[in-house]
Copies of this chain bind each other. A is one copy, B any other.
Amino acid sequence: MTISDPAGDDADVHAAIHEATYRALCRHGYHQTTIQQIADEFEKSKSLLYYHYEDKGELLTDFLRHLLDELAERLTVEGADPYDDLLILVDRLVPVPMDEEAVQFRRVLLEIRAAASHDERHRELVRRSDGLIRSAFADVIRRGAETGRFDPAVDPDEAAEFVHTALLGTMIRGVTLDDPETVARTRRTLERYVDRYLLVE
Q: Which residues of A are at the interface with B, using a C-beta cutoff of 8 A?
A: 29, 31, 107, 110-111, 113-118, 123, 126-127, 130, 158, 161-162, 164-170, 172-173, 175-178, 185-186, 189-190, 192-193, 196-197
Contact = CB atoms under 8 A, between A and B. Distances in A.
How many copies of this chain does one complex carry? 2
A177 B119 CA distance: 10
Most buried by B among A31, A126, A173: A173
**Majority SS at the chain A contact face:** helix
A110 B169 CA distance: 11
A89 to B, nearest CB: 16
Most buried by B among A162, A166, A185: A166
A196 B193 contact: no
A130 B173 contact: yes
Nearest to A188: B158
A161 B186 contact: yes
A161 B177 contact: no
Given A168-B172, A172-B168, A177-B126, A193 B117 contact: no
Contact of A117 (B123, B169, B176): B176
